[in-house]
């Protein structure tokens, strides 16, 4: 029996592999990667590699074995046929007879277009008959803190979220929940709504940035249309910019506040704060 992680060289995947290796021997972990060279460091740690591509179904023919526990990390290509990509993995897992397939989804309350691919994938997974876990991941701190350069350049946080709040957590927090499910028992056919312990607003985010940088950084709320234009101007394709800006409309409606407590319960510790993430980003 292996624990198999797709998208293993992505941001979340690397956290999952790192935390898995703290709990199980490396030979029990298989990393599914698109490019073997990107995973040389994982192979050096004793992790098995399987080279496969969501866009090439035949590459998944021999990735899974009966009894495996699988983490399907959702594809990152927003705007592409992510549901079709995920179907490839689910069908291969079903054919192999895996014991569990956990999927990184989106909060159940999220109505933004970004959630459509996740709802479509959930439908396929639930219809497949494979024992499943839905890890409905909320927003990541890093979605904001990894791109602080323009904020610090203009001394402004620009979003289209009004006074809405976000229950974000770090990728490491969400990885801890996934690892708990993959290495634990009794999670079959469960849905977990995952989010940080503390919700925050963008005004509070700007205030925390001001406090930590010593600069006066303001929150400048704009319309969804204006934010779409800003993102497109920064180089995002317009359809993708519209999807990202649409998430802010959902934030304003409270759809990214997750108060289930599932994430800290699964992780076995409190989640990290947005202030922690800002500190880490400024140091980095």
pLDDT in tens, 39-62: 999 999 999 999 999 889 999 999
pLDDT for res 269: 98
Q: How far apart are CA 20 and CA 197, in angstroms?
A: 23
Q: Tally Cβ neighbours within 10 Å of residue 234.
A: 10
pLDDT tens string 97-144: 999 999 999 999 999 988 999 999 999 999 999 999 999 999 999 999
Under 8 Å between Cβ of 206 and 219: yes
The pLDDT score that the predictor gives to residue 1 is: 77
18, pLDDT greater than 80? yes
Q: What is the mean pLDDT of residues 208-231?
A: 97
Sign of the CA dihedral with 34 first, then 40, 42, and 47 last:
positive
Mean pLDDT taken over the chain: 96
Tell me the C-alpha distance between 169 and 126, whole Å: 27
Q: Using alpha carbons only, give the angle 123, 129, 135 rounded to the nearest 5 degrees.
A: 55
User: Predicted confidence band at 78 (pLDDT cuts at 50, 70, 90)?
Assistant: low
Per-residue pLDDT at 79: 60
Residue 111's Cα: distance from chain center in Å?
17
> Would the pLDDT of 254 be above 70?
yes
Query: 75: pLDDT confidence band, cut at 50, 70 and 90?
Result: confident
Mean pLDDT across 275-280: 97
Share of the chain above pLDDT 70, in %: 99
């Amino acid at each position: 029996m292996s624990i198999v992680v797709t998208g293993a060289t992505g941001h979340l995947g690397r956290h999952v592999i790192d935390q898995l290796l703290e709990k199980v021997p490396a030979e029990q972990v298989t990393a599914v990667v698109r490019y073997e060279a990107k995973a040389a460091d994982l192979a050096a740690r004793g992790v098995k590699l399987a080279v496969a591509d969501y866009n090439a179904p035949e590459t998944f023919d021999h990735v899974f074995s009966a009894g495996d526990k699988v983490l399907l990390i959702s594809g990152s290509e927003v705007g592409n046929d992510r549901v079709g990509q995920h179907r490839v993995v689910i069908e291969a897992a079903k054919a192999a007879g895996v014991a569990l397939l956990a999927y990184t989804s989106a909060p159940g309350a999220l109505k933004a277009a970004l959630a459509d691919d996740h709802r479509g994938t959930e439908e396929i997974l639930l219809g497949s008959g494979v024992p499943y876990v839905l890890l409905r991941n909320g927003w990541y701190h890093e979605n904001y803190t990894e791109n602080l350069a323009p904020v610090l350049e203009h001394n402004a946080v620009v979003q289209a979220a009004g006074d809405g709040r976000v229950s974000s957590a770090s990728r490491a927090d969400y990885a801890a929940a996934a690892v708990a499910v993959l290495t634990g028992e009794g999670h079959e056919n469960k849905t977990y709504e995952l989010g940080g312990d503390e919700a925050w607003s963008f005004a509070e985010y700007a205030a925390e940035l001001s406090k930590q940088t010593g600069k006066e950084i303001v929150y400048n709320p704009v319309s969804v249309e204006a934010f779409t234009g800003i993102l497109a101007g920064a180089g995002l394709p317009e359809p993708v910019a519209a999807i990202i800006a649409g998430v802010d409309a959902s934030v304003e409606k409270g759809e990214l506040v997750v108060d289930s407590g599932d994430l800290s319960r699964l992780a076995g510790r409190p989640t990290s704060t947005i202030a922690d993430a800002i500190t880490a980003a400024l140091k980095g």
